[in-house]
């Protein structure tokens, strides 16, 4: 289980939202590449980068910052936010992104994910962002009305090799993940899953690790790192001890 620090970008700044609300935003840095270097220096093996402006507007707005992050560290970058046509996805790979994360477009056009997976194979991750079990889209500002488990099962049949599951109801709250929901999801989904939302302490990391699910391959941590509630080195060492 990998520990994956999150870098959320808005107007070029590194920020965190609470429950995905754009009116509840805190800026942590104006220099994304310095934040990337910080997490890299503490042992991160991968970074999770999201263009929040892109997620909201439908096209990436912070590609220069993403490119700067890629130049600053020698680890894979998984990137999402506004990747809703093939040309934009091609550009993301051209600047050095390792994997792309698709969200809203998958819900709106299932044929699209088939085409992207056919071209980029395992480099495509689908993000299932759910609030009380219902998938959220357009930067988490709108409900799709689609059941999260149903979407996860559909994408498996379309050749997707891994997914991110974010519990929007607890994301950015530092209240801990909903372990019961996660256990049910991991039991029902035959896909490697990276989880996100609500991670607040090393105890949360331990509890996730102790679920002992082979398809739980990673945990994205955001606000808890920026607020100093979790030490990245300690979190990584916990996972290493469980291997």
Q: Hey, what are 133's tokens?
A: 């079990």
What's the pTM value of the predicted model, to 2 decimals? 0.94
CATH class of 2-242: alpha beta
Q: Tell me how far apart the alpha carbons of residues 81 and 216 are, in angstroms, rounded to a whole number.
A: 23
Instruction: Tell me the mean pLDDT in the region 73-90.
Output: 97
Q: What percent of the chain has pLDDT over 90?
A: 73
DSSP secondary structure string, 33-102?
A: HHHHHHHHHTT-S-EEEEEHHHHHHSS-S-HHHHHHHHHH-SS-EEEESS--SHHHHHHHHHTT-SEEEE
The residues facing 135 across adjacent strands are 130
Instruction: Tell me the mean pLDDT in the region 77-103.
Output: 97
* Structural domain spans, the chain: 2-242
On whether the CB atoms of residues 151 and 157 are closer than 8 A, the answer is: no
Is 204 catalytic? The answer is no
Catalytic residue among 51, 53, 129, 204: 129
Catalytic residue among 8, 51, 167, 171: 8
Is 129 catalytic? The answer is yes
Instruction: Tell me the mean pLDDT in the region 91-112.
Output: 93
Q: Tell me how far apart the alpha carbons of residues 68 and 7 are, in angstroms, rounded to a whole number.
A: 12
Burial zone of 190 (CB within 10 Å; 0-12 exposed, 13-18 middle, 19+ buried): exposed
The reported pLDDT for the residue numbered 243 is 59
Give the single-character DSSP code of 201. Answer: S
The reported pLDDT for the residue numbered 242 is 61
The reported pLDDT for the residue numbered 98 is 98
pLDDT digits (tens, 9 = 90+) for 183-211: 988 999 889 999 999 999 999 999 999 99
End-to-end CA gap in the chain: 8
């Amino acid at each position: 289980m990998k520990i994956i620090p999150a870098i959320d970008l808005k107007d070029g700044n590194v920020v965190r939202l609470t429950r995905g609300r754009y009116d509840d935003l805190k800026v942590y840095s104006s220099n994304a590449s310095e934040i990337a270097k910080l997490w890299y220096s503490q042992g991160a093996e991968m970074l999770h980068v999201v263009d929040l402006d892109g997620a909201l507007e439908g096209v990436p707005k912070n590609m220069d910052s993403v490119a700067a992050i890629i130049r600053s560290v020698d680890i894979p970058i998984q990137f999402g936010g506004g990747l809703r046509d093939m040309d934009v996805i091609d550009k993301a790979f051209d600047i050095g992104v390792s994997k792309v994360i698709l969200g809203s477009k998958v819900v709106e056009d299932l044929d699209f994910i088939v085409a992207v997976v056919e071209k980029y194979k395992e480099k495509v991750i689908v993000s299932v962002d759910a609030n009380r079990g219902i998938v959220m889209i357009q930067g988490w500002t709108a409900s799709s009305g689609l059941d999260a488990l149903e979407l996860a099962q559909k994408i498996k049949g379309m050749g997707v090799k891994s997914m991110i599951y974010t519990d929007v109801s607890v994301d950015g709250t530092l209240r801990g993940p909903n372990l019961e929901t996660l256990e049910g999801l991991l039991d029902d989904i035959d896909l490697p899953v990276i989880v996100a939302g609500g991670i607040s302490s090393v105890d949360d990391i331990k509890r996730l690790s102790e679920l002992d699910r082979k398809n739980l391959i990673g945990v994205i941590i955001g606000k808890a790192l920026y607020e100093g509630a979790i030490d990245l080195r300690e979190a990584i060492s916990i996972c290493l001890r469980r291997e």
